[in-house]
Amino acid sequence: MQKFKEIIFASHNKGKIAEIREILSPLGIKVLSGEDIDLPEVEETGKTFEENAYIKALAAAKEKNIPCFADDSGLCVDAIGGKPGVYTARYAPNRDFNKGMDKLLDELKETNSSNRAAHFSCVIVLAYPDGNYKAFEGRVDGAIATQKSGTAGFGYDPIFIPTGFNRSFAEFDSIEKNKISHRGRALQKFINFLKDNKGSL
């Protein structure tokens, strides 16, 4: 194991990168993104969030020959069979999440179901160049709103209302959201692992 002052997060998603950096900043760890170090994009061929996160983290770890981490996350809506799930980003036409939200709301309306239950899941994988890895999972339950609201956050945040609240994730400030979000919860487990190992991987 080695102590570190910076770590590579294998992602090109600006929204995710900003959240990760904000949550990890109290540890004094510099987070380098896929864009910072020109990591090639990797095709996500996994059937689960963990598989996709592992694919991305392992590719980066082998490329740089150091431990790297990645996440995969998505929105799962009960009434449409858990979709979009691992295809959350690709579900949105041309990865335009505004159109993706419209598509999801239309698909949900077509079911004529009153069930609007949904959850966000996130799995963070820390991968080592030899193929070993550790996974950290987070989940937040909630419901799909009938219309978009709020301008903060990213992705499907404007239509997701977490359980216990009456506003969408896009109406939360980042500090408030990070405390209860799927990514925040997975990252807290990751942080606990780092602390247990006294800053070593």
The model's pLDDT over 23-82, given as tens digits with 9 standing for 90+, comes to 888 878 889 988 888 888 888 899 999 999 999 999 999 999 989 999 999 999 999 999
Active site residue 72: yes
| Structure tokens, 133 | 């890895």
Q: Taking 90 as the threshold, does the pLDDT of residue 194 lie above it? A: no
Torsion of CA 139, 142, 145, 148, to 10 degrees: -30
131-157 burial by CB neighbour count: b if 16+ within 10 A, else e? Answer: eebbbbbbebebbbbeebebeebebbb
Q: Of the residues 36, 38, 71, 72, which is catalytic?
A: 72
Q: Taking 60 as the threshold, does the pLDDT of residue 85 lie above it? A: yes
Band (pLDDT 50/70/90 cuts) for residue 1 is very low
Q: Taking 90 as the threshold, does the pLDDT of residue 159 lie above it? A: yes
Mean pLDDT of 110-123: 96
15-26 burial by CB neighbour count: b if 16+ within 10 A, else e? Answer: ebbebbebbbee
CA-closest candidate to residue 6, choices 28, 29, 23, 37: 29
Residue 181: strand, helix, or coil: coil
Q: Taking 80 as the threshold, does the pLDDT of residue 5 lie above it? A: no
Residue 123: strand, helix, or coil: strand
Which of 4-13, 146-155, 158-167 has maximum average pLDDT? 158-167
Which residues span the domain enclosing 115?
6-196
Distance, C-alpha 168 to centroid of its chain = 17
Q: What's residue 199's pLDDT?
A: 56
CA angle 161/162/168 to nearest 5° reads 35
Asked whether residue 201 is domain-assigned, the answer is no
Band (pLDDT 50/70/90 cuts) for residue 200 is low
Q: What's residue 35's pLDDT?
A: 84
Residues 128-143 pLDDT 10s: 999 999 999 999 999 9
Beta carbons within 8 Å of 129's beta carbon, 6+ residues apart: 61, 62, 65, 66, 67
Mean pLDDT of 98-117: 96
Domains held by the chain: number: 1
Residues 8-39 pLDDT 10s: 999 988 888 988 898 888 878 889 988 888 88
Helices 14-24, 182-196: axis angle to 10 degrees equals 40
Which CATH number is 34's domain given? 3.90.950.10
Asked whether residue 1 is domain-assigned, the answer is no
Q: What's residue 25's pLDDT?
A: 82
